[in-house]
Every structure is written in C-alpha cells, then in structure tokens.
Chains A and B, each alone.
Chain A
Amino acid sequence: MDAVATAFGLILDPYVLMVMGLAAVFGIFVGSIPGLTATMATALLVPVTFFMEPVPALAAIVTTTAMAIFAGDIPGALLRIPGTPASAAYTDESFAMTKKGQAELNLGTNLVFSALGGLVGTIVLITAAPALAELALNFSSFEYFWLACLGLTCAVFIAAEEPLKAIISLLIGLFVATIGIDPAAGFPRFTFGIVDLMGGVSFIPAMIGMFAVSEVLRGVVNLQGIGRPTQERIGNIFRGIGPVCARYWKNFVRGSVIGTLVGALPGAGADIAAWISYAVSKRFSKQPEKFGTGHIEGVVDATSANNSSLGSAWIPALVFGIPGDSITAIVIGVLYMKGMNPGPTVFLQNPQFIYAVFISFILANLLMVPLGWLAIKSSKQILNVPRNLLLPIILMFCIVGSFAITNSAYGIVIMLVAGVLGYLMEENGFPVAPAILGLVLGEMLEQNFMTSMIKSEGSFIAFFQRPIAGVLGVVTLAIWGLMIWRGLRRTQPVPQ
C-alpha cells in the first residue's frame, strides 16, 4: 500500500499535473488534425521526455494518447476525416449523423464512451496485467493469421447492402497492400523501380484520400446547394446521453471487452479494435439495417473499444517488453531510458512508478470529459463555415497530414490517387471502408500466412494444431460457411 500512497504523491505534484494538462491539450490538437496520429504525437514527445523524471514523462505519454484517440472522432464526425486511424471504422456513421443534424448526440456519445472505455481498459491493466500477458504470449503466427481473417470478415459485415461490392472493395485494399517489399522473401513487387513504392502504400494517406478527398470531390461536383453549412450549431452535447447509456450499456460493455482483448495482443491496436467491435455490433444488433445511416449503436461499441485498447496495450509492453501497439513500441524505449526495464520485475523494482502510470491513466480519462467538451465547443465553428470555403481548407489539412506521414510529396500523391479512386468507387456503390480494412490487414495476413507456412513446411494442418489457433480457425470457417449459405439462400428465386 505504501507504493500506492507514494504513487499518488508522485502524480499529485503540481509539476506533473501541469505536464498532464499541457499533454492533454497537445493530444487533442494532434488527434483532431488528420494525418497526425497518436503514435506520431508519442514520437514527438520522446525528445521532450529525455529531460523529465520518469513519472511526468510517462504521464505525458498516457494523457496525450488518450486525448488523441478521442479527438480523432471530432473531425471524423464533422468533416468525414478520421483524425486518427482508430476512428476510421465509424467515421461514415458519425458523418451520417451530423448530416441528419445529430452532431451533438454523436460527439457527446464519443466523448462519454471514450472516457468510460478508457477506464475499463485501465481497470483491466491494473487487475489482470500478468495473467492477460501470459495469454497474449501464446499467440504465434497461426493465431494471428486467423485473427486477420476474422478482421477481414468484418468488411462484409460493415458493408451496407451489397456484400459482393464490399468484397471487391476489400480485394482492392488487399491488392494495394501487396505493393512494396514482400514481407516474407524481401522481394520488391509492383514497384516499377521507384524507390518510394518499395516502402509500400502507406495506409494513413490512403485513408485520408479515400474518406476526405473523395468527400471534397463530391462537394466540388455538387457545388450548388452546398453553400449552406450542414448544421447551424452544436447545443448541449450531453443531452440525450442518458437514454443512450440506458439503451446501449451492453454495447459499451461488449466494445470495451473486445477493445481490451485486442489491445493486449501484440501487433493489434486501437484501429483494429474499433473495426472488429463495430462489425460485431452490427452483426448482433436488433436493427442492423440502420447501420450506416447515422445510427448511434455501433459508435458506442467502437468508440469504447478504441480507448479501452490503449490501456491494455501496456500489458505486454510492461510485462514482457513486447509492444501491444505502435504507441507502446515507443513507450518501451522510454521505459528503458528511464531505467524502468520492462519485465515482470518492473512491478517489484519500481511499483510506485507503475502505480503512477495507472493513476495517470485514470486521471487522463477523467480529464477527457471537460477538455473534450471544450474541444467540441470550439470546433463547432467549423460547421458555420460555408462548405465552398471549407472544402479548400479540408484539402489543405489533408495535404499537410499526408506529407507528415512520409515526410515527402509521395504521401500527397498517395492521398490524391486514393481520393480519386475512393470517389469513383463510392459513386458506383462500392463502399470504401472495406478497402481501408484490406490495406490495414493485408500485411498482417500475408506475413503471418507465409511465416506459418514456412514453420509448418507447407502443411495446412498446422493451422489447426495449436489449441487457440484451432478454435479461431473453426470459428472463422464456420462464420464463412454461414455467410455463403445465407448468400445462396438469398439468391434463390422467391415464389411470387
């Protein structure tokens, strides 16, 4: 208990609180600018934390990332630009709500459930870190292969009416993911000798292009009638949250649990957590037909999931020094630099620092509610800008964000090409979300498949031989079988 008391003392120091306050503002700023991700915010913090004590350094990272993941929802809802990849899964849904005039309800829900989801992830981190880390450690390439397959299945669930078009869109994403150096053999593919293409198509500029630039293009094409702002004002964002809580508390629990589990797995983070929980939400909803039309239900699941995964991503990082996501990959470096070498011993050697991290997680999620409210209040000005002035500004943000990812004009080229492609796809009824998902999961799928095949010397049986892999494999194949069976039944002629 002494360590806990010491930890409270460490966190409630005025300097630490000031650092957390500044980090929160920084996180909200970075999160709400498209292209600037939570991972990048953490990387930018590292040189600053060189000169800090361990507790403020870690508290700064914790606060920044929690705020950034929430703030990514704001431009997603208002402009259809996901501020961070973690918001991509439900950007369309949020934007549809804004168009229906429900921006308040959407942003309020995002804020409240981000904070609550974050708290769930923290509680799991505090109570179950060693046990969950042991579980996560059992995942090898076979298990990840099935997980990637399950993730791809989400594409079909997310898609609105036409599963076939969703699958085609998914395949486009998977194809684009094969550009670059082959992850298994190290051989360049589809690069035409261009050095930039060897690095592959980075998915954040592609995501910005497909969501935001395609929306800008649509705005340009329909320039008449868009001079008006979509919604006049944002009122009380907390109005209507009570009924949402009462009605969808199960979604919140389910989203948080999925987010926590996905976060604890090394190599899968907030973005994949949001995709999976959104798809699960639709699959088990009583009103799946409302998804995609501006329906709050899936948003509750997904916004809880991406914030809850943040806390649990620290589990494998702290216990085994294995990053749970790209943010904790950087955190591990900071831990080493501060002499808090990850490993089970970190809980014994420096318990007060670890408890201080836990407390800063809780504090950051509580701080999120007032600061997020301010951020939403100030961003409402965006809605008052006439669309014909807003479109060039959006495009400018897209360019800055895409450049920031590759540090070269290559990112901008990806964004523009993806934007035109996304526009053409959507005009012809192909949803873009599955393509993004294919791009995100393509490398994970290929790498783990190839690795597994090398390990098993070409035998497919190995994909079912390990207990967890076997269960995941059977579940995946059962879902696919069910989908095909339903699809066949639907296409059979119905007697008139």
Chain B
Amino acid sequence: MMKRRTFLASAAAASAVAGLGLRPAGAQAQWPTRPITMICPWGAGGGTDATARIVASLLEKELGQPVNVVNRTGGSGVVGHSAIATAAPDGYTIGMITVETNMMHWQGLTDLTYASYTPLALMNADPPGVQVRADSPYKTVKDLAEAIRANPGKFKASGTGQGGIWHLALAGWLQAMGLKPDAVAWVPSNGAAPAMQDLAAGGVDIVTCSVPEAKAMLDAGKARSLAVMAPQRNPAFPDIPTLKEAMGIDWTVAAWRGIAGPKGLPQLVVEKTIPLLKKIYDSKEFKEFMTNRGFGMVWAPGEEFARFMAEDDAKMGKVMKAVGIAKS
C-alpha cells in the first residue's frame, strides 16, 4: 500500500516536474479551459446578484470562457458562502462574498471565516445612512441622537434581519455615542425595501440602510436621510453629512462585496484574475452600472482585500458581542 502510494506520489511529482520543464504553458497555465461557475449567495434580482452578473459577463469576455452565475441562497447567506469555501480550489468555482462572511461565524452559524477563502478583489462597499420619516420632528442627526439619549428604549429601528449588517451599524453608532446598543429597539425585517416601507407606514422610527436603498423613498418625499456612517460624503448625495461632520463621532461601517475563491486557489489563477478584475473595475460598463444603481465603488486586490476583511472582522466581532448575538 505504502509502496504504491509512494509510487503514485513520485509519478505525480515527476510528471509535474516534466510539465514545468517541458511545457511552460502546461495544463495549469492554460486556465481556464472550461466554463467557470460564479456562486452568488443571495437571490436572483438583488444587488449582489446584479453585481455578480455584470462582473461575470465582463470576465467572460476577458477569459474567453463562459462564466455562469449560480444562485445558492438561504440561511442568511450561509448556504452560498459555504458552497464557495468548500468548492474544489481549481479556479473553476469562484464566488461573490459579502460582509456576512465576517458575521456568520460570530453568530455560530458556520465555522467558515474570511480565512477560508482566497481573496481576489474587493469591488464594492456601501455605508449606511440614518433615515427618518419625512414628518419626523428630527431635522439633524444630532437632534435625533439627543432624543435617543433622553428616551432610551423609546425608538424603533429596522433595515434588515436581527444581527444583520444594518442592525450592527445602528448598534455600533449607539455604542460610539456611549449608549447601550439596545437603546433603540431593533425590528427585524426582510431587507431594506420592506423596512423603508414600514418607516413610511409608521411602523418604525429609524431605518439604517444604505442611502441608495432608501433613494426611491427619499425622492418620493416619504423619508429623509440625516447622516451617513462613512469617512466621506457620497458624491451622489452631497447634501447628506457624515456622522463625523454632524456630531464628531468616528463610527464607520459598510456592507461590502468582493470576488473570492475557495482557500488554496492556484497562484496562477490568482495572478491571472486580479489584473482582469482591475480592468473590469475600471471599465466603462462596470462604472456605469455601479453609478446607475448607486453602489459605492472600492478597489482592494488580493492581500489588501485580506487585510480589509481582517479589520472588518474584528470590528464586527466587537459590535456583535456588545449586542449579545455573538456566540464566542
């Protein structure tokens, strides 16, 4: 048995050496030779799906092989993220990972962390805004903050499910103000659109979703955005101040999306893909798409993406522990 395994190993090693020596552009170097699957952990038609599809269609042109987007949805993103992380690391399965990568493991839903992926490129990040109803008495985020401080537990906010990214955005903001994370009650919703509807219907007082997600209601005069939790103002919404400008609080957070593969992608695939993704990021089509949807553009390749995720992971862990939804 041992003997046979040794034989196989040496045969494999020999052929690998032979491959390297004789054909510099060997089997691996010819990646991709067949269609590539891009897994999207969220449903067809949503923002992540649309972003994955535009990246896939542009990548397809660059690689000359079909790149098929496959939606693996459910379980707050666990199903799709697991499918990316546990795929064979041969370069034929990649996926779009989202901010939930840094949240699910704290919640105890999965053992997978950002370290379970080979990061390729961060391409998008959307900071949350603080939205109130149009007839709300609070004209600035400072007024609202004072009212929350004076009446802890009175206000209700929504934007996504319990422990979702916009919930953590609110909790982090309250913490930065020196308040308890439950000073505003969180009402779980099925996403930003239903939350904005509930805001207009008078069901909740605050919605902390991204400003583009709230745009239709803002345009309809049903809601107002008081501040964004970002380092800079959004060029598409120049009138909305940052939290730092409005009340001197240094709390920033974002829902992000990036392309990644399972851990241990061949170096060749990584080296070939990152420049292509950069080209896509700079392309007119991608820019037009992101601007039309109001999505924020951020670029961080490979190692930089990994560092970004590590920082974000620590931040998420801290807030989730404070909210009491982290398991460890």
Contacts and interface: CB of A to CB of B under 8 A. Distances in A.
Contacts of B107: 186
Interface stretch (B2-10, B188-196, B259-267): B188-196
Contacts of A142: 203
Contacts of A395: none
Nearest to B189: A451
A320 B220 contact: yes
Interface string A110-142: 000000000000000000000000000111111
A329 to B, nearest CB: 5
Contact of B190 (A200, A447, A457): A447
Given A140-B201, A195-B78, A343-B216, A337 B289 contact: yes
Interface in A314-358: 319-323, 326, 329-330, 332-333, 336-339, 341-345
Interface in A446-476: 447, 450-451, 454-455, 457
Contact of B220 (A186, A200, A339, A344): A344
Interface in A180-200: 180-181, 183-186, 188, 195-196, 198-200
Contacts of A406: 72, 74
Interface stretch (A38-46, A166-174, A245-253): A38-46
Interface stretch (B15-23, B140-148, B156-164, B249-257): B156-164
Interface residues of A, number: 56
Contact of B79 (A199, A326, A337): A199
B75 A341 contact: no
A320 B49 CA distance: 22
A336 B292 contact: yes
A408 interface: yes
A334 B221 CA distance: 22
Task: Determine the interface band of chain B, counting residues with CB < 8 A from chain A.
Answer: 35 or more
Contacts of A342: 216
A407 interface: yes
Contacts, number: 159
A136 B216 CA distance: 15
B293 A322 contact: no
A63 interface: no
B184 to A, nearest CB: 12
Contacts of B162: 184-186
A205 interface: no
Nearest to A410: B79
Interface string B255-294: 0000000000000000000000000000000000100111
Interface in A188-239: 188, 195-196, 198-200, 202
B216 A195 contact: no
Contacts of A186: 76, 107, 161-164, 188, 325
A330 B204 contact: no
B75 A198 contact: yes
Contacts of A43: 44-45, 49
A180 B74 contact: yes
Given A183-B190, A184-B162, A333-B47, A320 B72 contact: no
Interface stretch (B27-35, B50-58, B120-128, B169-177): B50-58
Given A195-B75, A407-B71, A455 B203 contact: yes
A450 B45 CA distance: 27
A14 to B, nearest CB: 27
Nearest to B198: A140
Interface in A141-171: 141-142
Contacts of A139: 197, 201
Contacts of B110: 195
B63 interface: no
A50 B57 contact: yes
A322 B50 contact: no
Nearest to B49: A43
A183 B188 contact: yes
B311 interface: no
Nearest to B39: A407
A322 B44 contact: no
A199 B74 contact: yes
A326 B185 CA distance: 29
A139 B203 CA distance: 9
Contacts of B47: 333
Contacts of B149: none
B219 A344 contact: yes
Contacts of A140: 197-198, 201-203
Contact of B44 (A183, A196, A200, A330): A330
B197 A336 contact: no
A341 B78 contact: no
B70 interface: yes
A266 B197 contact: yes
B197 A188 contact: no
B70 A183 contact: no
A243 interface: no
A200 B74 CA distance: 7
A411 to B, nearest CB: 11
Contacts of B11: none
A141 B203 contact: yes
B116 interface: no
Contact of B109 (A188, A319, A457): A188
6 contacts: A47-B57, A139-B201, A266-B193, A320-B200, A336-B293, A341-B215
In the A-B complex, the 9 residue pairs with the smallest Cβ-Cβ separation, listed nearest first, are A199-B74, A321-B216, A198-B75, A330-B45, A43-B44, A140-B203, A343-B219, A140-B201, A199-B75
Interface of B: 44-47, 49-50, 53-54, 57, 70-76, 78-79, 82-83, 107, 109-110, 156, 161-164, 185-190, 193-194, 196-198, 200-204, 215-217, 219-222, 289, 292-294, 325
Given A186-B163, A455-B203, 5 more contacts: A40-B44, A198-B74, A266-B193, A343-B219, A455-B185
